[in-house]
Structure 1
Amino acid sequence: MTFEQLKLSPPILKALAKENYTQPTPIQEQAIPPVLAGRDLFGCAQTGTGKTAAFLLPIIQLLSAQQGRPSGKRVIRSLILTPTRELAIQISDNFRSYGRFLNLRSAVILGGVPQKAQEQALEQGMDILIATPGRLIDLMNQGFADLRHVQILVLDEADRMLDMGFIHDMRRIIAKLPAKRQTLFFSATMPPEITSLVDSLLTNPMKIEITPVSSTAERIKQTLYFVDKPNKLPLLIDLLQDPSIESALVFTRTKHGADRLVRGLTKAKITAQAIHGDKSQNARQAALNNFKQGVTRMLVATDIAARGIDIEELSHVINYNLPNIPETYVHRIGRTGRAGLSGIAISFCEYEEIPYLKDIEKLIKQNIPVIGDHPYPMTMKESTPTAVRETKTSVTSSEGSVTRGARKGTNRNDAAGRKETSEGPGRRWKRRS
């Protein structure tokens, strides 16, 4: 299959040639024809599969084929909702590339920056509006955003929007759209909430599922270190003495943890910057640009901020904290295996994270190889707990084992409204001498 066979217009084909796109990916091959035909679509595809082009290319063609725009200012013809600022900016950049030979106008609406320029853009109207839900709701409430003329709605990374607590904002936005519209819905996973949302929003949709989430892990070399929490930073610094790790995307569970890790790495003279929801958009973009240009060696991120980060040929991903949702692990390590490339994923696992490890290995249908010959293993204080004995990659006597502590980890909600499990402080371990 070629892009020409997908019946894309000559200006779009010319733009794709400029981008060195030679062959459509599976999600593009299957999604573009039904979208061009005007059908609703539900696509289940993880990041790195080319789904942005799968919805942008046909939308650009459909809008450019119409004779003239609706009369009056403030008209928005297509709306793309996305959970993070980085993803919104990435989609906007892709739109400029794909639509460079067509006279279409777009704008990006997102938080973390002054809204004056966004008000002016909405006043002029546009063909495609790319927005994060929070800032769009603010501008709607102030009377700047008129969605009554939207013809095509795209919900991108819908599962992440649910995780971030945007469900009510999404419903408020959708309530302002025309009932007669084309809706394109993309999600990396299919929890029951997503299925329910699809049933309520889409009409006789074409359903496409590309690459089951667990299969991403197969082309990535994975390793695991069992390590006490106090020894994670020394272990990471030791690993970074390897010059082959030229740069790495490092994941932490919390925003404060990301900032704390950056301070530790900086003290060890390893260049690092953090990217998370408490940073301004300018700071987040500067950190991302520094990382892409090699100015910064380590980019430390939370899952929410990292969704939408597009870094070509990233060789290493490091899980400083294992995620409590197994699909998130696959999305994380998939940052280093984009577009079929291979990569290396290194994970640290402390005591409280062992149940997360079990869930991850169940999802990916493989045991993550454990590296036991390193200076910072977990060590036994009293007795080996049942949870450790039952793991597929149990902590052997040569690697050390762990003991139950006095308290369990607590639950808390982050700023985005997502429930996350804390790093329980009550475990009492010591470094093996």
Structure 2
Amino acid sequence: MMNTALKLLLKQHVGPPCKPIVKINEQVKRGQLIAVPDGIGVNIHASFSGKIVEITSDYIGIEDFDLNEPLDNFVKLDKNLNHLQLIEAAGVVGAGGAGFPAFIKYAHPFENNDGTVIINAAECEPSLQHNIYQIENDFDTVLRGLKYMMEVTNAKKGVVATKHKYKKAFLTIRKALEKEPNIELFDLSDMYPAGDERVIIREVCGIQLAPGELPFKAKAIVSNVETFKNITRAIEDLRPVFTKDLTVGGKVNLNSSGKVFMDVPLGITAREMLEKVNGVIEPIGPLYVGGPFMGQIKDIDTPITKTTGGFLVAMPLLDLKEEKFGLIGCECGAQLPELRDLAQLMKAEVVGELNCKRMEPDENGRLRCNLPGICPGQAPTVLKLKKMGATTILIGTCESRTNTVARVTPNMGLKLIHKSDFTLRATGHSLYRRIDKA
């Protein structure tokens, strides 16, 4: 039995934190419902059997749980519910990071049976590998989830969108679809952010959505690999979502390029996962939760949630107190507040901040990229930052814009740092410094 409390966060989704429905000292079973939405959101279930010892506005704490409790020992969902109700009861969210409730996404059937349901199998973040691992080892579960959602939404067609560089996964999908006349395999461009929802819609459906527009406008719905797996489990096994697949890598002693862990109970911390790869290799930089592009710097005791994609230990950050930074914000990677924090960690002075020319406000005022993955030349932006006194340009941009910035910074006598540099170096992945011909 474990004495240290397991923390199950009450916000693991889009929307406000959930409301606890358990009490202190209450004994709960794995899979038992312990918190419900307070507005938009999803149910949260106990990831272990144990005793409730703490309830705050942020989490529910469980003690006296057994780390070796069998995963098939859980409280099942109501078998009398229909498919969509089971997905809602199970607490299925977009497991790729967005955290949008799946039951809401699939609640409205397509008219005239002309819609498309798409599996996002891009595994776009470099160093993360668990979605491709799932496809290589058990694609059938994912495929059944797609077929269930095609049935629920009256979709005419299904699509599995991935990259041919994942050769084994690509061939696995192609073979599985030989007997599926209404489902096709789509070969995505090998670039970041090919896994962005609007990029997938653009490539698969040939429709460019404006910032803020939803895929349903293109008569399409997109979910990632693990989301479809969780849908199948909810429908067939009556299983709530209480585990997560993820990748652990970076400056660690075992598999620095990334080790995949499947079905890790929610609430297990980064510290515990790093122990499973024999600890870190000092000196280290920040811990990123997620991938090199979209990951966020977090504490080592950060618990796993339904949207955790990975734990990557970065290289030590540079001490650049003599440098003057110019920042370029991007929706596809790091926006200005995150770059500002990163510059502060490197002790650099920020002398200028600009957004990519593609950034524009959506209907809610949020800055969005109007054409993700296709970036205009950045020479004027870089030149403005140089005139502000910048000696180094700090970016966290998509692959296309990194290319355009990398092309001009050397000619202006400027240094270039990408947010992802420190995690990519740690995982042995090449940096995003490709300079294409103009």
TM-score, normalised relative to structure 2: 0.28
Larger RCO, structures 1/2 (Cα 8 Å, 6+ apart) = 1
Higher helix proportion: 1
Q: Which structure: greater strand fraction?
A: 2
